Structure 1
Amino acid sequence: MTDTMTCRGPDAYGVWAEGHAALGHRRLAVIDIDGGRQPMTAGGDDPAAVLTFSGEVYNYRELRSELAARGHHFRTSSDTEVVLRSYLEWGEDCVSRLNGMFAFAVWDKQRETLVLVRDRLGVKPLFYFPTPHGVLFGSEPKAILAHPSVEAEVDAEGFAELLAMVKTPEHGIFRGMYEVRPGSLVRVRRSGIVKRRYWSLEAREHADDLDATVGTVRDLLEDTVSRQLVADVPLCTLLSGGLDSSVVTALAARELAERGSEPIRSFSVDFAGYTENFTASAMRETPDTPFAYDLAAHVGAKHENIVLTTDRLTDPEVRDAVLRARDMPGMGDMDTSLYLLFSALREQSTVALSGESADEIFGGYRWFYYDECLNADTFPWLAIGYQSRKTELLNGGLLATLDLPAHRADSYRDALTEMPDVPGEDAHERRMRVIAYLAITRYMPILLDRKDRMSMATGLEVRVPFCDHRLVDYVFNAPWSMKRRFDREKSLLRDAAQDLLPRSIIERKKVPYPATQDSTYTETLRKQVADLYADHNAPVRALLDEQAVRQVVDGPHAASNDENARAGLELVLQLDNWLSRYDIRLRL
């Protein structure tokens, strides 16, 4: 089980086992290279507690000082030991004191209790699998699937969740497997398993005026980026030239300059011929590369553009690596290009800061302001319809069994029942709060999962300053009129960062993560699906609609570069690979 996590932790290995518990760890060394080995014990030869920890705690220095004042003695300078000592001092309640991205397991030997903990926004993953006599757990499904008592089974509910483009809290896709919910802990004792949420979004009236709100957002961003620049290994930023990544890079550049450090390094992704031959669309009006270089020049960053070729994007070996990273089908070329970017970046850096999640928090997506999305009785990103063609090659019987509309409707109703409320809030503000809540709790986790799996598969740690819970909580309660002013998305973030950025970035409209426009990419997918369908032993064949496949393979639109259209081709290839390599048993 521990060996399956080698990609997440290529630097060190450790296992602790005694009596009723066994904990394993693979380490990506970032802070205290020599001293932070795990599993970490407290209490000598007869430890009171044992910890296996993934992620970073950004306020560990303050906590260390407080714990030292309370009589704790430290053997290392790592944040891991601070977490362990925090548990000894405050028990489960220690988690409310941690600022960071983390997932960890503590075996409390004295109480014979296992505690599984996940950070507030779910930046770091953590799965578990109850058994008749205990529980198995791991950072990714593959760790649990490696245990001989676990079969890779997927039922209709799991398959529907896989395709729904909605992240249902706690759902682990595989039958019997669960994910620790963000902001929650799971306690395992002889008496059974108990789940407890220690943090969730709270709704309250926002008392600050616009100037004070802008100032608070700026202060929080400066503090968060400063904290997340701590590392004992090479560090960089991901820079697309969009507002979010530019803010992070600009703040990092300023902070490092004030420390007298080397200029920040930044990286972006591009495709061969993409910028030179770019075709504007309603979704993407401009290519990223010129804007990334604008920002890098403005703040003095050392920027590098990572250029990917279609051959690499369609390489079956790369697709295999992406599947192993995900443990299940994902987002097609959006996963593949990110994996290749991170693979190239890892050759030069171990830690990267990203602008991920600002769109969900500040309201950047189109579905935050389209009436048909705001008024839809479903998740707003589904109302746009760009997921409608992903399943077009699956057969009608399978789709009827999965009943994706019902699955999404159930998830939507469940989300609304959790929604925190402000008494007396007007209808429009209330609806925008609902949209923000759905974005943060049901959409953002999808992209955080993608970021985590693709980065950790290459041994790269990606930090997300916009997921600082203090910032998320504050902006969630700021009124929509501050978040969208003068008909511009993310106005609050633009206002908070306007002195940091060149005019080209401030005025640039939101552009999603890039996708290749090379028509040979779609053509290659078409040929690969045609070859696959010709193989009568391919496990995916039983799930497909023969007429739909032949129409896509042979039809005149086969070479279309429509991202939505090619999503169905990518899903077929991923499903077949998954069913065969993971020996999936479908229980539909």
Structure 2
Amino acid sequence: MCGITGWVSFDADLTQERQVLDAMTATMACRGPDDEGTWLAPHAALGHRRLAIIDLPGGHQPMSVRTPAGEVVMVYSGEAYNFTELREQLTGLGHSFETDSDTEVVLHGYLEWGEAVADHLNGMYAFAIWDARDEKLVMIRDRMGIKPFYYYPTRDGVLFGSEPKAILANPLARKVVDADGLRELFAFTKTPGWSLWKGMYEVEPGTIIRVDASGTHHRTYWKLDAVPHTDDQETTVARVRELMTDIVHRQLVADVPRCVLLSGGLDSSAVTGLAAARLAEQGEQLRTFSVDFFGQEENFQPDEMRDTPDSPYIRDVAKLVGSSHQDVMLDPVALSDPAVRRAVVTARDIPAGFGDMDTSLYLLFKAIRGESTVALSGESADEVFGGYRWFHDETARNADTFPWLAFQNPLTDRSNLLRKDVTNLLDLDRYVADQYQTAVAGVEHVEGASEFERRMRTVCNLHLTRFVRMLLDRKDRASMAVGLEVRVPFCDHRLVEYVYNTPWSLKSFDGREKSLLRHATKHVLPQSVAERVKSPYPSTQDPNYAKELQRQAKEVLAERDSPVFTLIDRTWLAGAVEMEHGSITPLVRQGLDRTLDLHHWFDIYRPEIELA
């Protein structure tokens, strides 16, 4: 896991731009605390920061191979979980290796197969290769979009980086946010290729971008295809068990301490059980970590999303598998600390407005990083297996919009604090409707499928191509901000492809959510977890958190010239900070969180807002 950045210019001499490249590379220091490197040529400059996971002494980047026709240089972020098999295959084809790193395997894979190396990789990755043989840059991102990757076309080339901040460190990139950027920020639809910053784009998942003197060329090498599923229920459950076991075993490979993020839900518990069994075979004890809040279990109040606290289920899992478990306990002071919020906004490059669910995640990862460098997560299982409550809510799944919007209506929740003129300009209702129609039009179906199965395939597709990408980006940014590599077994493309094509009747064959996962992993689960209803990532219920938000927002309100008020309705904020505790609804609390995120974001990035 690492941070990458670079600059290609076909008209300039980039060997004279080391200072700029160094500045771009330095922004990625949090992603790669162990090593750094740069490489410059007349038309290409590459920078790298390394978090050493495999082959700690080797794997220095940028990594290059000299060929008779020119040098081939790569900067790489991520992990190729099948690098051992690929290394053996490439050795048989005549390649020789100087290190034990997966980076060198990927580079030699490119030398052997060209851009088609992407078809051979199993893992999470974002990498760029400057191929001097053809004077071209090749950028490749993993199939599910686990690793972030951005680019910014210029007059004569391109800037790129793992995160926008690397690109923004180059004077060619303007810090401008226009109406289109703001629409997605508040709409929660995850438009493919979107970046908050004008002129900047994501390298889309499963995509290869080639930049040469003739321009920029895109090619999709992977997408969700609709194919008939012919396995019966027993065979399907067995195949899911086989895949899950293989995936977890592969993702436990590392030369540094590993752990699992354990929430007490089905997803993380399944990963925990499989990982613990594997490490026990090797004579090791698994470490697990959870986040919790002081007083949460004792004072827990059920709400529309969470029926039970996590702690009892976490204890059941840790006891069953025999893990060495640690709870990271947080209080409202830590969760609302402006310095922590500022660190989260910097990590994400956007004012996301997720409040304590962002700060607690960051603090959890910071605590874990003191003892482990790699963590396995249950992220994405709900999207793959159909676990969210709105999958099973008839109104939400049949609504003429994204199901997660129909169920919770965060569109209203996320825009109520905006100035009226901004709301009118953004026209979020129309934006969401347009995005929904575009997304649905891209879904392929199996011939002869019923209308219900077509609808559920559409719902699953929207989650795997839109919703999950928001969560993957959130988790990557929060973890890499403290130099922790988080791996996501449920995003293995083999599992995603297989389960995506199982009919909904199989995904819910026992009348519950995530039937396939529950039955495939029940051998490693305590009964309590196997029967537990889906509960999302925890949020503090301590009223002191909202009170502290009010106090900080009142300070923002006192700044008459704060740029926050180019977007936020001052009257709304004035009312929110004076509310009695009992009147602070989740909607108001979310608005306060978003206001404070915007306040820090404006101060850190000094963006130019274009609303015309």
TM-score (norm 1): 0.98
- How far has the Cα of 1:47 moved from its partner? 5.4
CA distance in 1, matches of 2:302, 2:397: 26
CA distance in 1, matches of 2:138, 2:72: 11
2:568 to 544, 547, 564: 544
1:332 aligns with 2:326: no
Q: Is the 8 A contact 1:386 1:564 kept in 2?
A: no
1:183 aligns with 2:197: no
- How far has the Cα of 1:543 moved from its partner? 2.0
Select between 137-146 and 559-568 the one with higher mean Cα deviation.
Answer: 559-568
- SS of equivalent to 1:223: helix
CA distance in 2, matches of 1:304, 1:292: 10
Q: Deviations over 1:137-184 (max 9, x none)?
A: 000000000001112100000011111111111111100000000000
Q: Is the 8 A contact 2:143 2:223 kept in 1?
A: yes
CA distance in 1, matches of 2:575, 2:195: 34
1:494 aligns with 2:510: no
- How far has the Cα of 1:43 moved from its partner? 1.9
Q: Deviations over 1:505-526 (max 9, x none)?
A: 1011100000000001011111
Q: Is the 8 A contact 1:520 1:559 kept in 2?
A: no
1:221 matched residue in structure 2: 244
Q: Deviations over 1:87-136 (max 9, x none)?
A: 00000001000000000001111011100110000000100000001000
CA distance in 2, matches of 1:355, 1:402: 35
CA distance in 2, matches of 1:544, 1:323: 18
- How far has the Cα of 1:44 moved from its partner? 7.6
CA distance in 2, matches of 1:309, 1:559: 20
Q: Is the 8 A contact 1:322 1:335 kept in 2?
A: yes
2:506 matched residue in structure 1: 482
In the superposition, relative to structure 1, how do residues 559 and 319 fare at CA in structure 2: closer, same or farther (>3 Å)?
A: farther
2:417 to 393, 396, 399: 393
Gaps of 5+ in 1: none
Question: How large is the RMSD of aligned CA atoms in angstroms?
Answer: 1.2
In the superposition, relative to structure 1, how do residues 206 and 561 fare at CA in structure 2: closer, same or farther (>3 Å)?
A: farther
In the superposition, relative to structure 1, how do residues 45 and 583 fare at CA in structure 2: closer, same or farther (>3 Å)?
A: farther
Q: Deviations over 1:197-235 (max 9, x none)?
A: 000000011100000000000000000000000000000
1:136 aligns with 2:159: yes
Gaps of 5+ in 2: 1-23
Identity across matched positions, percent: 54
1:316 aligns with 2:338: yes
1:307 aligns with 2:337: no
2:170 matched residue in structure 1: 147
- How far has the Cα of 1:534 moved from its partner? 1.6
2:286 matched residue in structure 1: 264
1:427 to 451, 454, 463: 451
CA distance in 2, matches of 1:63, 1:74: 12
- How far has the Cα of 1:404 moved from its partner? 1.1
1:407 matched residue in structure 2: 431
- How far has the Cα of 1:546 moved from its partner? 3.1
Q: How many residues align?
A: 586
In the superposition, relative to structure 1, how do residues 137 and 172 fare at CA in structure 2: closer, same or farther (>3 Å)?
A: same
CA distance in 1, matches of 2:464, 2:68: 44
2:83 matched residue in structure 1: 60
Q: Is the 8 A contact 1:271 1:516 kept in 2?
A: yes
- How far has the Cα of 1:297 moved from its partner? 0.7
1:82 to 73, 93, 105: 105
1:518 aligns with 2:542: yes
Amino acid at match of 1:481: S
CA distance in 2, matches of 1:333, 1:196: 39
- How far has the Cα of 1:335 moved from its partner? 1.0
1:448 matched residue in structure 2: 472
Q: Deviations over 1:252-304 (max 9, x none)?
A: 001111122x2110000001111121112231111111111110110111111
1:349 matched residue in structure 2: 372
- SS of equivalent to 1:43: strand
Q: Is the 8 A contact 1:167 1:446 kept in 2?
A: yes
Select between 382-391 and 184-193 the one with higher mean Cα deviation.
Answer: 382-391
1:288 aligns with 2:313: no
1:2 matched residue in structure 2: 25
In the superposition, relative to structure 1, how do residues 443 and 466 fare at CA in structure 2: closer, same or farther (>3 Å)?
A: same
- How far has the Cα of 1:386 moved from its partner? 4.1
2:489 to 447, 456, 465: 465
2:21 matched residue in structure 1: none
CA distance in 1, matches of 2:229, 2:87: 33
CA distance in 1, matches of 2:149, 2:270: 30
- How far has the Cα of 1:45 moved from its partner? 11
Q: Is the 8 A contact 1:518 1:561 kept in 2?
A: no
1:73 to 68, 75, 96: 96
Amino acid at match of 2:532: R
Q: Is the 8 A contact 1:242 1:510 kept in 2?
A: yes
- How far has the Cα of 1:46 moved from its partner? 8.5
CA distance in 2, matches of 1:561, 1:237: 35
